[in-house]
Amino acid sequence: MTSMTSRPSRPSPTSRRKLLVGAWKAYLNHGEALSLARALLPLSTRATASRGDDEPGFELAVCPSFISIVGVQQILADSSIQVGAQNLYWESENGAFTGQITGEQLADLGCSLVILGHSELRALGESDEQVNRRVRVALARSILPIVCVGESSSERDRGDAESRVSEQVLAAIDGLSAEQVAEMAFAYEPIWAIRSRENPDPTPATPEQAAAMHRVIREALAKRHGAAVAERVRVLYGGSVGPDNAGQFVAEPEIDGLLVGSASVKAQSFVGILEAVADAA
């Protein structure tokens, strides 16, 4: 077992397969989402078909708005590109939940992953406890939960970044077994690095900053469930990733892939990012 304090050993190329996720947020209307899916279709030959096996390579996924999941799935049906969601409701089964999308509904569609706890939802009041409840639903439905964690710029300035991120990680896995945690993924997304209307040209984290925080995330997991579990969990980086810097992030052994927002909704820039991930895989 790796010592908790030492740097985790460098993973072998196949132990944590890289994962590239395009998070389309609410950038696209339905027709635009379908066009983008059609443009990405030729890329599917580059990615590995499914998670969970030992093939080398990398996985590719897109997370459209709920309204476009089915349409995008139809276009990507025979491809290796996975289709996921950007959230799910914390009740697993269908019922009287106006405006929500349940785990049952997403599993029925065959969604293989879901982004949870994004800072844009946390800013609207999403709590750590709600994230934990959603994680449980995703796991119960065999949908890979990708839990977003990350500090604000003021938390970083105060020197609280590591404690804030560890707190979010531990809250997300509260009450879960080691086996369950091993089936999760995280995305380190410093809020100050995410492109938005308020922050249209943010500075991305440096690959070193990101890798350091990925180690913090893995240490938090290791403290709770042991190094073996921590070594299995993939930690992606997200925040102003583009074709120019993607390669530097995925070259870090701690960085198991990328969660890309704005640059994932333009086919050309997403292809550039994919090339970088393919080279590193």
Residues carrying an active site annotation: 118, 189
Token representation of residue 167: 């707190």
Least distance (Å) between residue 56 CB and ligand PGA: 26
- Using the minimum distance from each CB to ligand PGA, give the nearer residue, 217 or 260: 260
Compare residues 169 and 227 and give the one whose CB is closer to ligand PGA: 169
Element (H, E) at 60: strand 58-63
Q: Is 195 in the site for ligand PGA (CB under 6 A)?
A: yes
Question: If binding is defined by CB under 6 A, does position 57 make contact with ligand PGA?
Answer: no
Among 75, 144, 194, 246, binds ligand PGA (CB under 6 A): 194
Site string for ligand PGA, 19-38 (x = CB under 6 A): ----x---------------
Q: What are phi and psi of 9, to 5 degrees?
A: -65, 155
CB of 105 to ligand PGA, least distance (A): 23
- Under the binding rule (CB under 6 A), the answer on residue 240 touching ligand PGA is yes
Q: Alpha helix locations (H) across the chain?
A: 30-40, 69-76, 103-109, 119-122, 128-140, 153-157, 161-172, 178-181, 207-225, 227-232, 246-250, 267-280
Number of residues engaging ligand PGA in binding (CB under 6 A): 13
Residue 23 or 72 with smaller CB distance to ligand PGA: 23
Q: Which two tokens stand for residue 33?
A: 């989402």
C-beta atoms surrounding 251 within 10 Å: 13
Q: Is 273 in the site for ligand PGA (CB under 6 A)?
A: no
Provide the CA 134 distance to its chain's centre, in angstroms.
14
| CB-nearer residue toward ligand PGA: 134 or 195 | 195
Q: CA-to-CA distance for 118 and 138, rounded, in angstroms?
A: 15
Cβ pair 81, 40 in contact under 8 A: yes
Q: How far is the CB of 84 from ligand PGA (least distance, A)?
A: 13
CA 26/CA 57 separation, integer angstroms: 29
Phi, psi (degrees; rounded to nearest 5) at 123: -65, -20
Residue at shortest CB range from ligand PGA: 261
SS3 label, residue 101: coil
Residues 153-172 binding ligand PGA (CB under 6 A) are none
Amino acid identity at 106? L
Nearer to ligand PGA, 91 or 120 (CB): 120
Residues that bind ligand PGA (CB under 6 A): 23, 189, 194-195, 238-241, 259-263
